[in-house]
Amino acid sequence: MDRIPILKLGDALLVTIQVDMHDRLATALEDDLTNKIVKHNAHGVLIDISALEIVDSFIGRMLDNIAAVSRVLDAETVVVGMRPAVAITLVELGLSLAGVKTALNVERGMALIQRHHVLEQGADDDIAS
């Protein structure tokens, strides 16, 4: 079965979606990602969708699910590289991706994850002291 590769990038995971997603691939990706978050103790997940020509409610739900599960595992999900035409269409479709953070590119997404992690650590230290 096809799988989408997941790369380790610092203490985050990077997923680049380049193919037309279908159900099995989406389910496999959710499974693989959750396993890798735990295995690598990842603080964030970057999902690069710059190759996607459309995002429909199916993909939108997958992104929301990944973000929700990752959050429970203490990892922040950032969707990066959304094309402008895709963004316009998503809003008109009615998908707000409320649970998902977005950034223009991988670098800015990575910065967002690191900032989030530092803030969290700061909060932990406050509780400890």
The token pair that represents 85 in the structure block: 């035409």
Residues 22-51 that bind another protein (CB under 8 A): 22-24
Q: How many residues bind another protein (CB under 8 A)?
A: 21
* Beta pairing partners, 80: 48, 103
How far apart (Å, rounded) are the C-alpha atoms in residues 64 and 7?
A: 20
Give residue 87's region: left, alpha or beta (phi > 0; psi -120 to 50): alpha
Does 2 participate in binding another protein (rule CB under 8 A)? Answer: no
Residues 87-106 that bind another protein (CB under 8 A): 88-89, 92-95
Binding site for another protein (CB under 8 A): 20, 22-24, 53-58, 60-61, 83, 85-86, 88-89, 92-95
